[in-house]
Amino acid sequence: MKHPATFGIISYNLYCNFTNYGSALQSWAMQQAVNAVGKGRWQAKMVDYCPDILADKDPLNPMKNMWDKDPEARRLCELTLPAIRKNYEEFNRFYRTECAVTEGKYTARNFDDCVKNDGIDGFLCGSDTIFCVNEFGFDDGYYANYPSMQGNSVAFAASFGDAKFTPAQYPELDKRLNNFRYIALREGGMVPYVTDKTTVPVTQVIDPTLLLDASAYEPITAEPQEEGQYLLLYARRYNPEMEAYAEKIAAENGWKIVEISLRAENASRHRMFYEAGVEQFLSLVKHAAFMVTNSYHGMIFALHHRRPFCVFSREQCDTKIAELLNIIQLNDRFKTVNDGLLPPAIDYDAVHARIALERERSLRVMEDALNTLYQR
DSSP state string for 142-182: TTT-STTTTTSEEEEEE--TT----TTTHHHHHHHHTT-S-
Shared domain for 166 and 239, answered yes or no, is no
Q: Does a structural domain hold residue 172?
A: yes
Q: Does a structural domain hold residue 29?
A: yes
Helix (H) or strand (E) holding 86: helix 81-98
Domain range enclosing 170 = 5-212+357-374
Residues near 366 by Cβ (< 8 Å), separated by ≥ 6? Answer: 33, 34, 37, 156, 184, 205, 211
Shared domain for 229 and 369, answered yes or no, is no
Q: Does a structural domain hold residue 351?
A: no
Per-residue pLDDT of the chain (376 residues; tens, 9 = 90+): 667 999 999 999 999 999 999 999 999 999 999 999 999 999 999 999 999 999 999 999 888 887 776 788 888 989 999 999 999 999 999 999 999 999 999 999 999 999 999 999 999 999 889 999 988 999 999 999 999 999 999 999 999 988 789 999 999 999 999 999 999 999 999 999 999 999 999 999 999 999 999 999 999 999 999 999 999 999 998 999 999 999 999 999 999 999 999 999 999 999 999 999 999 999 999 999 999 999 999 999 999 999 999 999 987 788 899 999 999 999 999 988 888 888 899 999 999 999 999 999 999 999 999 999 998 7
Q: Does a structural domain hold residue 91?
A: yes
Shared domain for 308 and 256, answered yes or no, is yes
CATH number (domain holding residue 330)? 3.40.50.2000
**Total domains present in the chain:** 2
Shared domain for 227 and 183, answered yes or no, is no
Shared domain for 48 and 141, answered yes or no, is yes
Shared domain for 25 and 166, answered yes or no, is yes
Shared domain for 53 and 158, answered yes or no, is yes
Shared domain for 270 and 369, answered yes or no, is no
Shared domain for 219 and 200, answered yes or no, is no
Q: Does a structural domain hold residue 352?
A: no
Report the alpha-carbon angle 49-52-53, nearest 5: 110
Shared domain for 334 and 268, answered yes or no, is yes
Shared domain for 180 and 51, answered yes or no, is yes
In angstroms, the CA 343 to CA 322 distance is 16
SS3 of residue 60 by DSSP: coil
Shared domain for 28 and 98, answered yes or no, is yes
